[in-house]
Chains A and B, each alone.
Chain A
Amino acid sequence: MGRIKKFRLFTGSMLVAAALASPVLQAQETAKFALFHDFTKVYTFVADEISQGQRDYVTLINEEGGIKGYKFEALVRDHGNEPQRGIELYNRAREEGVVYYNFFSTPVSNAIVPRALQDKVVLGMPLTGRADAIVGEVFPYVFPMMATYWSQAARILQYIEESEGGLKGKKIAYVHIDSPFGREPIPIVDKLSRQKSFELRTFAYPSPGNEQSAVWSDVRRYRPDHVILWGAGNAQLVSIREAVRNGIDPAKMLSVVWLTETDMKNVGERTAIGIKRAEVVKPGRDHPIIQRILDKVYKAGKGAGPEERVGSSYYNYGVADMVVTFEGVKLALEKFGPPLTSEKLKLGLEMIRDLDTQGFMPPVTITEQDHQGGGYARVSQWDGKAWVPVSDWAAAFQDVVWEQARESAAKFNQTK
């Protein structure tokens, strides 16, 4: 056999081998998710648990064989709630070929938004970031995915309206940390106060909220029918303690999502029985998704943190973020096939219709126009041991929320 013939045979057999091996290579394809957090500054109260939930769900998907030949890798890094560090991490992750980004920090996410839009990469912003990013036409690559703070505030007011037989004439105190996060829902609450004819008074306490006594003296004297709490971390604990010290009935208090089992244990489990909160994900372990994580991740010793955290409210928020994202991945790969890119993931997320999580989350529908997923939330109440739902999932006053969102998004469009 001549040399040239030998070479051709060798080359041909290599090509055949490569062709045969390609499904194997495809099965080993890895997609990277950047699941960055503030582990060291402001969001420390939530970062560990949410990150653990995200990573455990990624491990679960991998343990179950991945999706359409893809395995997934969670890149976990600390940005310290600093936009500049966030941008540096973003640039590095871009070079590493990340397809999904979530910074879980309002200032960092907001700093990344223009870059994500320009680079056409998917930026998940559940429970953080710009509330107007629900407007898909203006923010095509940004996905809040769950009820924003505006929708949560609206749902809280709708709950009061339903349970009290109307809002007219009620006195509502809105007590908030004096930060962009604390002030964010005020335009919505204010609009609804005029629309529904209830009296609204806002009370701000300085960040980080470790001393609020003067504010709560004032709240007590205002004699509100209901108090809406808009804080996070230890500030929430101080708020509840001060409210109780001032004789305010916990059953009249309703909080943003940032109030969990851990917070209630720190306040004292029986200190504020009856307090309510907005909820966007079911807490606890009594759910097939969480049971799958316990069975396939923790029994295999592959958990990302302490097992006792599994099922906490914050942990489940992290899981929920990944549940929606992986649904988008699945739809994208089914429709467009590999390779998985951020552009395909965007389209996949926008194909999600009535995502059925068997009650883990409200039904999620994301469209090209609506990146909020429908804006559903419910209200749950602390019974001394656990959070018990006292309302159904519902999207409240979305006309007001979307009017505000479109107005704000239009301003963003003009200035970008």
Chain B
Amino acid sequence: MDFLFLLELFINGLNTGLMYSLVALGITMIYKASGVPNLAQGAMVMIAGYLLWATIALLGLPLWIAIPFVVVLMFLFGLAIERWLLRRMVGQPVLMIVMLTLGLEILLRGVGPGVFDAAPKRLDLGLGLAPLVVADVFINRAYLIGAISAGILILLAAAFFRTRLGTKLRAVSDDHVASWAVGISVERAIGISWGIAGVAAVGAGTLWGSVQGVDWTLSALLFPAIAVVILGGIDSLLGVFVGGIIVGVLGSVIPGYLDPIVGGGTRDVVTSVLIVLTILLRPYGIFGREDIERV
């Protein structure tokens, strides 16, 4: 076995997996605050990518101003989703809310290319294409920076949930009625969680947009992100981190050896198998909280 090849697949898989974690972070943030699995996060990442591109290419703002500007826009976008869509679903079964987020994903997938034109857009962060070569192992610089950014954002998210506001959001997630009873504005808390998911989408949209360009395919990142949250545990930030690494590494190493034998395309199979096995063996994921309901 070529050890260097294995190492390269492992390192690049790890970095890619943490980039998936960036997308998954938005799903977990909303779930931790409102108990809603958000299936529109892929499209939110795409919208964030489009907005950043438009801010730079059409408004002519420099990147360092464009990013905070889009962060504000996406926070407001998240708030708007909660205000105009989610709030109307209060009291409805969770399944209906999940379907609503899925509908939103499909709607945004059409709206993004419709408004901004379907041609792929360039998002240049000035990272360059030269790889980082360590002992003949080529490490993708953009993915490495993406992975480090993901790690930082996950740590920030963990810190946020230890603040007063974060504690309120966790309380809301645990029990809406009890939260109301102690004076927490549940609607506001859920709105803020959607706003924060919008902010997380900017991180993912920026970094993924820089490596693949901006078009509707950014929304396809939902699939690996779903695998990450199922494996790691949908309510766990540690799960997002570890789940991302596992999905990324297995999705890189296994196809690296299997593809040449079977003719390719096994990465999605690996991801799918991970989802199925996790649901069968550990439905709450590696770090997810197992809720026990009294009947």
Contacts and interface: CB of A to CB of B under 8 A. Distances in A.
Given A214-B13, A244-B129, A245-B129, A266 B264 contact: no
A213 B255 CA distance: 11
Given A48-B117, A210-B221, 9 more contacts: A45-B118, A45-B119, A178-B264, A213-B140, A214-B267, A215-B255, A218-B260, A245-B140, A262-B119
Interface string B8-52: 110011001000000000000000000000000000000000000
Contacts of B98: none
Interface stretch (B184-192, B206-214, B238-246): B206-214
A238 B13 CA distance: 16
B67 to A, nearest CB: 20
Nearest to B117: A48
Given A217-B8, A246-B131, A210 B110 contact: no
A215 B114 CA distance: 32
Interface in A232-269: 233-235, 237-238, 241-242, 244-247, 262-263, 265-268
List 3 tightest A-B contacts by C-beta distance, closest first: A204-B264, A44-B118, A178-B265
Nearest to A38: B118
B208 A210 contact: yes
A238 B211 contact: yes
Contacts of B129: 241, 244-245, 268, 271
Interface residues of B, number: 46
Contact of A246 (B138, B211, B218, B268): B138
A203 B265 CA distance: 9
A221 interface: yes
Nearest to A267: B122
Contacts of A220: 138
B215 A233 contact: yes
> What is the interface of chain A mostly: helix, strand, loop, or mixed?
helix
Contacts of B175: none
Nearest to B15: A213
A205 interface: yes
8 contacts: A40-B114, A44-B216, A204-B263, A213-B12, A214-B256, A237-B212, A241-B129, A266-B120
A205 B255 CA distance: 10
A131 B208 CA distance: 35
A218 B252 contact: no
Contacts of A49: 119
Interface in B210-261: 211-213, 215-218, 220-221, 251-253, 255-256, 259-260
B124 to A, nearest CB: 7
Nearest to A221: B5
Contact of A268 (B121, B124, B138): B124
A386 B268 CA distance: 36
Which of A211, A238, A244 counts the most chain B CB atoms within 10 A?
A: A211
A221 B215 CA distance: 30
B5 A217 contact: yes
B115 interface: no
A221 B264 CA distance: 16
Nearest to A203: B264
B213 A203 contact: no
Interface in B173-214: 208, 211-213
A266 B12 contact: no
A203 B138 CA distance: 19
A47 interface: yes
Contacts of A265: 122
A283 B13 CA distance: 39
B122 A266 contact: yes
A263 B118 contact: no
Contacts of A235: 217
Contacts of B140: 213, 242, 245
A214 B255 contact: yes
Contact of A234 (B12, B212, B252, B255): B212
Nearest to B221: A210
A44 B259 contact: no
A247 to B, nearest CB: 8
Interface in B69-121: 110, 113-114, 117-121
